[in-house]
Structures are given as C-alpha cells and as structure tokens.
Amino acid sequence: MKRTITRLADGRELIYFDRRDDADRSAIDRRPLDPRPVASELRYDPLTEEWIAMAGHRQTRTFLPPADECPLCPSSETRSSEIPAYDYDVVVFENRFPSFSGNFGTYQDPGGLSEVRPGAGRCEVVCFTSEHSSSFSRLSDEQVELVMEAWADRTAELSAIEGVEQVFCFENRGDEIGITLSHPHGQIYAYPYVTPRTRLQLGAAARHARDKGGNLSADVLAAERAAEVRVVASNESWTAFVPAAARWPFEVHLYPHRQVPDLAALSDAERSAFAPLYTSVLRALDGVFGVTMPYISAWHQAPVRAGRELAYLHLELFSIRRAPGKLKYLAGSESAMGAFVNDVLPEEAARLLRSQIDH
C-alpha cells in the first residue's frame, strides 16, 4: 500500500491510499476556496451529562448535488472536486464542514448551568471508491481491505491528537437515512469526549467484570454463537448476528473472535476475513425485500484512554426499513424517552437475512 499526504487549497489535509506504489499523486487543488470555518461550540447539558455541539456553519454544506457535480468524484480537465487526482483507490480528507476541528474561534458563556468549550477534534471523509454509482456491498475484497487500512491508519493518527478521546468510523447510506452526498463514502469523527453510548457500554462491561468476571462482549458473542438462532453468517475470524434485544428492524453486529480495542489492533488475517463476510451481509440486507436498504454502519472502538481493557471492537449495522415501503420512525417513545419498540422479532430478522446470504 502507498500512502500519500497532500493539502487542499484551504489547507485541509488529504491522504491517498493506493494499492500501487507507482500511483502519481502530484495533482494540485487550484480552487478558490473560502477560509475554513471555526470549530463548533460545545455546550454541556447538566441534566443528561452530555456534550452537544453547536455547528451553525454546517447549514451551508453541500446537499444532494447532481452526479456531474459530485464533490467526491475525481477531478477532471473541466471540473475540480475535493479530490484533485483524476482517479483514486481510497481517499481520506478533512471535512469541509466539520462538527469538530482544531481551528478555534471565540466562545462566550451562554449562562445558566451549562459550560462551554471549543469543539476540538477532527472530522474526515472517507471515499471508498472513485466509482460514483457503486456501493460498499459491491467492493472487491481487496478494496475493502484497503478501506480497512485507511480506517486503521486514521484511528491511530487521530487517537494521537491532543484532546481527542474517541475515534468513530461510520457510514450513512440512503436518502431515508438523510445522506447529503450519494457517492459511496463514510466519515470519521474524532471526539473531544467519550460518547454517551460508549459510556453506557463501558459501565455495563465494568459491572459484568466485577460481578461475574470476564469480558461482557466476549460473553455475549460466545452465547450468540452457542445459541446459533440469531447468527447470520460467520467465518474463521468473525461472527455476524442479530442481537437478542435488537432496537432496529434489521440490526446486525459483527464481532472479531479475538478481543481487540480498535481497528488498528486487527491482524492482517482478521482484516482479510472481514471483507467477504461484511459485504455478503450488506448484500443480504438488500436482498430481504429486493430493494436498496438504507443503513447506518458504525464501528464501536475503545476510547483513547478510558476503559480500553473493557472495550471490544465491533461493528453495528442497522436499517430503519421494517417492511417494503415502510420505515421505522423514531417517534415519541424512542425520541423522547429513548425507549425502543422493535417491529421485527430478532430471530425472524436473522432468518430472513440468512436466507439471502451468498453461498
């Protein structure tokens, strides 16, 4: 793999990840870009003990451009995009409209019981392929491995930034999810705090270790593999299963068989084994109703400093589609109280997904 770092016209970093060592990455971004926005403002909610980012500059981000104006496609002789090269394998660059960054502004105390601090951190875009009409499910195993190399590289690099507490790699797919760019891509958030979901999981893991011994995620994985009824697919290094208490109509968790804290800690063999299993699950998801399923794919990694011995790297994939032509909306119970009601029995979701797995 060849890794090439360059800069865009406004100073943002862009990194090419290439399979070929002779890839030419000398193209320069010649666009007249506006100055980079200042970092968001973080406000603390004392009632929930959560940090909320106020990022007004994101209102102006690019919204569903036509294919011939896609900013994630390669540049051409007649049009310049976010990627100066005329072709690429995998590209990562700093988001032009970040929720977190190191470009600080001036922040005023809003009063009340909240406190304010800069939204320090970093947000990056990961372009999985130069093919605008493709999808992650259609990537070759070799291309998925290159994406994983990029994820692991960025996890290690971003974890070393002062003030970063957690690195989150994810993909939003589908208009129903609310994507603003249809090109196959994901994002990476480097948070200046440990996220609420991770704090809950680490708390549960700590109590399990204290009361029962062992690692909670490892025990859940072992129990699901033993029960088998919710296992969707597996190979020598990974198991994909629908959790017994799934929140979403179609939800699949993918765990490596070895406990590791983050993507950077995976072995080459584990990265290779992930690719065919994951893409087969994605294709199965689309096959359930014979339509392109909207989804969120989220890597849960250990925080940079807290609870690394308790954490267990895994990917959570879920779709809001519950039936052909029907979506699950987060209405009163879910949105207001965080109390989920699932419309699809997890065992039935697993059966439907298994029926669509490539053989």
48, 51, 55, 58: CA torsion to nearest 10: -80
**Angle value at C-alpha 342, between 339 and 348, nearest 5 degrees:** 155
To the query of whether residue 253 is one of the catalytic residues in this protein, the response is no
Both tokens of 250, joined, read 């179609």
CA separation for the pair 344, 247 (Å, rounded)? 9
Helix (H) or strand (E) holding 77: none
Report which secondary-structure segment, H or E, holds 347: helix 346-354
Q: CA 137 from chain center: how many Å?
A: 15
Backbone angles phi, psi at 10, to 5 degrees: -95, 10
> DSSP of 1-48, one letter per residue?
-EEEEEE-TTS-EEEEEESSTT----------PPPPPPPPEEEEETTT
- Comparing C-alpha atoms, which of 176, 75, 74, 167 is closest to residue 127? 74
Residue type, 339: A
341: left (phi over 0), alpha (psi -120 to 50) or beta: beta
SS3 116: strand
Q: Which two tokens stand for residue 337?
A: 């109280």
Q: For residue 298, how many other CB atoms are within 10 A of its CB? A: 18
Pairing of strands 231-234, 238-241: antiparallel
Catalytic residue, candidates 183, 185, 208, 300: 185
Pairing of strands 185-191, 50-54: unpaired
Kindly state the tokens that stand for 28: 């320069």
Tell me, rounded to whole angstroms, the distance of Cα 240 from its chain centroid. Answer: 17
CA 115, CA 173: separation in Å to the nearest integer? 34
Give the catalytic positions in this structure.
185
